[in-house]
Structure 1
Amino acid sequence: MALQAPEGTKDLLPDEAVYWTRFKAIATEIFGRYGYLPIETPVFEQTELFVRGIGEATDVVSKEMFTAISGENLKKLLDGGTVKAKSRLSLRPEGTAGVVRAVVQHDLVPQGAAPAKLLYAGPMFRAERPQKGRQRQFNQVGIECLGAEEPSVDAEGIIMLMRFYAAIGIPVEATRLLVNSMGCDVCRPAYRDAVKAFMDTHTDELCDECKRRAETNPLRAFDCKNPGCAAVMEGAPKITDHLCDDCREHYEAVKTYLTGAGLVFVEDPTLVRGLDYYTRTVFEVQVTEGMGSQNAIGGGGRYDKLAEEVGGRPTPGFGWALGYERCVLALEAAGHTLPAAQRCDVFVACVDDSVRAEAFSLVQALRDGGLVGEMDHQRRSLKSQFKLADKLGAHAVVVLGPDELAAGQVKVRDMQAHDEQMADLAALKTQLAACAVEGGAAALKDVLARLA
């Protein structure tokens, strides 16, 4: 049996790989309008970064992280030895911790400096049960803003994300924006105690996992998918009733900004994010139809203590991530299909082998002129070459034959209009060279118009 891709992973074949590239380009263009610049961090980090940053009690750290280890260190462990902390590595389960680590390490937000606005795109890894919309290797696009605690940063980030969804074709009316505040170190401890006390009175009605959460992180019980637990937690205390004055003021300001930008949102006091570093604003974007229970396509929030957790100075932060694969499912649910990757402007066809060298030269000239040029590499018949050109979606076919070549001519067939014209070969090459000098990918019709 032929080897298969690992469970929970998928190959991005050409059509989707080209779309993923375009997806990232749209993100870079839109987020760039808000001042966000690209950053690339390693796909693996010291395990301690995720333990300290995300939280040891979270499902992501306790159950889902992939640990990377060298053969030498594996041998040490098998022999009863130990591995240094710097050699304990894990594949990144999310992007925020690594970006914050980079900001701290390289001092991207020195005292008194403007916020660091950063965007990233790439693969993340979680050892989850594979299912539709949830893979063990998946792609995310995300942003992080470090160095500003104003609610305008939170609102700006959420607005930017919703603008992106609209730009790629996910209808606004097909989404639901949920917002909440998780409080801060002043008001959240008392709220956690209140939730734990509530859960302690309903222990017999909770699943084993939520019983464990009651001791480690009671707020995570709000995210339990067990219907019985969800019903119990509906009656739990709400964070919005326990916010301190500063958190309440911050939350109200975020909602005011969102409303002013014309965004419709739903306040969900049970909304929590699965990572421990969140403070104050949290939000999630869901698709309302066509994706079942796996309907979240993005979310995030504020994390004002994370920089300190990874060893930096106090630096407020806000960020979010969207799942690429989830967005593709949302687009499919909205009736979109991914565009075909294959594109060919001009196909150069050979009548026989005597003109193959000249055809090869012309194809290079086409490419140098900014056009997508192709030719037959399998010695097909002329009829088969036209079929191939049609399959590649060629706009025009340039036919080279020995008689035409002797006269310095080529035949050009417009594949859409189904008409033909003769063109001077030397003039064609000159015009293509001019296109290259001008530095643009000239439209084929413009090139041909110059020859008329």
Structure 2
Amino acid sequence: MIRLPRGTQDILPGQSEKWQYIESTFIDICRRFNYQEIRTPIFEHTELFQRGVGDTTDIVQKEMYTFEDRGNRSLTLRPEGTASVVRAFVQNKLYGSAKQPQKLFYNGPMFRYERPQQGRMRQFVQLGVEALGSKDPAIDAEVIALAMTFYQSLGLQSLKLVINSLGDKESRENHRQALVEHFNPYRAELCSDCQTRLDQNPLRVLDCKKDRDHHAMVDAPKILDYLTEEARLYFEDLKAYLDASGIDYEVDSNLVRGLDYYNHTAFEIMSAAEGFGAITTLSGGGRYNGLVEDLDGPATPGIGFALSVERLLMALENEGVTLPVNEGLDVYVVSLGDIAKVPAYTLTQQLRKSGLSVDKDYLGRKMKAQFKDADRNEAKFVVVLGEEEVNLKQAAVKDMTTGEQEMVAFDTVVNHIQSKR
């Protein structure tokens, strides 16, 4: 038997409805915030992620699914969504649109070669937004508010928002030098990855999962101590907008995020629910002024976030939140005998055209078995057609909630059921 690849999953009926509900809720929230959908390819040229995500990141160095096509071009299954959205923004000259900033959202599978564990798959689904064209800290607050609104609209209550500033270019350069001077005496004690990061991108040492408990981490230089006045004021403005929105947050100077393109605002939303697990992050994002230029576009500020649907489902389950899905069929049509087959099929189609969810028997089962199938499908109404009903040009309509049953003329069955809903 051929099995699915490690780190992937089949989303079966009964579960897929939850995904659909989550996706439709996300689309509705984005509509309220005036974000429009963008769809990008599942694979891109490898260079996009090398330049856009960063050569020093674990994603590029260890986790990408990269292959050569028949034209010897190096292609990569997208490991995240931002680089693709920015590439589309540049290639399609969306920066020239009269509608600015460009407020975009996406939904789709991403791929990373990681050790599979609960809530972390090799193929996973991200929902995300990107706002390109504004350097106003108010839009940073808006992006955060969108994410929080989405989670809360699904029923999550135990949420924790953590924010930080990564500063501007001057702030980061000063902080980088301080980090190198601080960690150099401990270089030999750090993991091999961090020894490399110390030369290439010292900020990412703070994000290391292996060395997080090293004593040198405790008093490592904090980026907030190295902010320029402009960067400090930007962060203060962001906090003021969040305060005005009634959004609670914590400032964590060690929050750096795992991608090279972030600056100024960085944030994560975590589950604070008891028993959720060691990895509590549900989503994360931040500002990436400079990324558009790195991908050959004009100077354009941007900010966005992405969230994992898999981890969201874990959080919903952990908090005992039941999504309003799997509400059953509106109607199940029971047919008895050959004479009722065509009328039953015709009535099924008419009911569907009226907007109702409807099914019928296709296995030639007895009436009792058909009623059992109606129960399995949680049908609200059952319509019975047999020889007698066909001859009388009527149907027996049973309300499965009240148990009431009445005979209804064929040509009024649709209206009758619609009036009872």
Q: Pick from 332, 338, 345: which aligns with 1:360? A: 345
Does the residue aligned with 2:8 lie in a helix, a strand or coil?
Answer: coil
Does the residue aligned with 1:120 lie in a helix, a strand or coil?
Answer: strand
Q: Which runs of 5+ in 1 are unaligned?
A: 74-82, 433-443
CA contact (8 A) 1:221 1:229 kept: no
Q: Pick from 77, 89, 93: which aligns with 1:103? A: 89
CA offset at residue 111 of structure 1?
8.2
From the superposition, tell whether residues 339 and 5 of structure 1 become closer, same or farther in structure 2 (CA, over 3 Å): farther
Does the residue aligned with 1:203 lie in a helix, a strand or coil?
Answer: helix
- What is the alpha-carbon distance in structure 2 between the residues aligned to residue 330 and residue 101 of structure 1? 32
Q: Pick from 135, 146, 149: which aligns with 1:160? A: 146
- What is the alpha-carbon distance in structure 2 between the residues aligned to residue 47 and residue 11 of structure 1? 27
CA offset at residue 428 of structure 1?
2.1
Q: Pick from 330, 338, 342: which aligns with 2:315? A: 330
Q: What's 1:378 paired with?
A: 363
Amino acid at match of 1:167: S
Question: Could you list the per-position Cα deviations for residues 351-401 of structure 1 after superposition, in whole angstroms to 9, with x for gaps in the alignment?
Answer: 222211111111011101111111100000001111000110100111112
CA offset at residue 35 of structure 1?
1.5
- What TM-score do the two structures reach when normalised by structure 2? 0.96
CA contact (8 A) 2:107 2:128 kept: yes
- What is the alpha-carbon distance in structure 2 between the residues aligned to residue 164 and residue 342 of structure 1? 22
Residue 184 (structure 2) pairs with residue 200 (structure 1): yes
CA offset at residue 216 of structure 1?
1.4
Amino acid at match of 2:138: S
Residue 386 (structure 2) pairs with residue 401 (structure 1): yes
Q: What's 1:436 paired with?
A: none
Q: What's 1:226 paired with?
A: 210
Q: What's 2:375 paired with?
A: 390
CA offset at residue 204 of structure 1?
4.0
Q: What's 1:187 paired with?
A: 171
Does the residue aligned with 2:96 lie in a helix, a strand or coil?
Answer: coil
CA offset at residue 113 of structure 1?
5.7
Question: Could you list the per-position Cα deviations for residues 22-70 of structure 1 after superposition, in whole angstroms to 9, with x for gaps in the alignment?
Answer: 2121111112222210000001111111111111010000100001322
CA contact (8 A) 1:91 1:125 kept: yes
Q: What's 2:134 paired with?
A: 148
- What is the alpha-carbon distance in structure 1 between the residues aligned to residue 13 and residue 271 of structure 2? 27
Residue 105 (structure 2) pairs with residue 136 (structure 1): no
Amino acid at match of 2:197: R
- What is the alpha-carbon distance in structure 2 between the residues aligned to residue 201 and residue 219 of structure 1? 16
Q: Pick from 228, 241, 253: which aligns with 1:269? A: 253
Does the residue aligned with 1:219 lie in a helix, a strand or coil?
Answer: helix
Q: What's 2:219 paired with?
A: 235
From the superposition, tell whether residues 448 and 257 of structure 1 become closer, same or farther in structure 2 (CA, over 3 Å): closer
Does the residue aligned with 1:363 lie in a helix, a strand or coil?
Answer: helix
CA offset at residue 422 of structure 1?
1.2
CA offset at residue 215 of structure 1?
1.3
Q: Pick from 231, 242, 246: which aligns with 2:230? A: 246
Amino acid at match of 1:177: L
CA offset at residue 260 of structure 1?
1.0
- How many residues in Structure 1 have an aligned counterpart in Structure 2? 420
Question: Could you list the per-position Cα deviations for residues 257-287 of structure 1 after superposition, in whole angstroms to 9, with x for gaps in the alignment?
Answer: 1011111111000001100000100000111
Amino acid at match of 1:293: A
- What is the alpha-carbon distance in structure 2 between the residues aligned to residue 176 and residue 61 of structure 1? 29
Residue 2 (structure 2) pairs with residue 3 (structure 1): yes
Q: What's 1:447 paired with?
A: 419
- What is the alpha-carbon distance in structure 2 between the residues aligned to residue 271 and residue 302 of structure 1? 13
Does the residue aligned with 2:120 lie in a helix, a strand or coil?
Answer: coil
Segment of structure 1 superposing worse, 149-158 or 204-213: 204-213
Q: Which runs of 5+ in 2 are unaligned?
A: none
CA offset at residue 447 of structure 1?
3.1
Segment of structure 1 superposing worse, 236-245 or 14-23: 14-23
CA offset at residue 19 of structure 1?
2.1
Question: Share of identical aligned residues, percent?
Answer: 42
Does the residue aligned with 1:412 lie in a helix, a strand or coil?
Answer: strand
- What is the alpha-carbon distance in structure 1 between the residues aligned to residue 94 and residue 245 of structure 2? 30
- What is the alpha-carbon distance in structure 1 between the residues aligned to residue 281 and residue 397 of structure 2? 51
Question: Could you list the per-position Cα deviations for residues 295-341 of structure 1 after superposition, in whole angstroms to 9, with x for gaps in the alignment?
Answer: 11101000000000000111000011011101000000101245554
Q: What's 1:78 paired with?
A: none
Segment of structure 1 superposing worse, 41-50 or 338-347: 338-347
- What is the alpha-carbon distance in structure 2 between the residues aligned to residue 229 and residue 407 of structure 1? 80
CA offset at residue 228 of structure 1?
5.6
Does the residue aligned with 1:90 lie in a helix, a strand or coil?
Answer: strand
- What is the alpha-carbon distance in structure 1 between the residues aligned to residue 194 and residue 407 of structure 2? 77
Residue 395 (structure 2) pairs with residue 424 (structure 1): no
Amino acid at match of 1:318: I
From the superposition, tell whether residues 332 and 363 of structure 1 become closer, same or farther in structure 2 (CA, over 3 Å): same
Segment of structure 1 superposing worse, 110-119 or 190-199: 110-119
Residue 124 (structure 2) pairs with residue 125 (structure 1): no
From the superposition, tell whether residues 303 and 100 of structure 1 become closer, same or farther in structure 2 (CA, over 3 Å): same
Does the residue aligned with 2:306 lie in a helix, a strand or coil?
Answer: strand
From the superposition, tell whether residues 389 and 299 of structure 1 become closer, same or farther in structure 2 (CA, over 3 Å): same
Segment of structure 1 superposing worse, 261-270 or 201-210: 201-210
Q: What's 1:438 paired with?
A: none
CA contact (8 A) 1:115 1:145 kept: yes
- What is the alpha-carbon distance in structure 2 between the residues aligned to residue 67 and residue 233 of structure 1? 34
CA RMSD between the two structures = 1.7
CA contact (8 A) 1:14 1:341 kept: no
CA contact (8 A) 1:299 1:322 kept: yes
Amino acid at match of 1:233: M
Q: What's 2:27 paired with?
A: 28
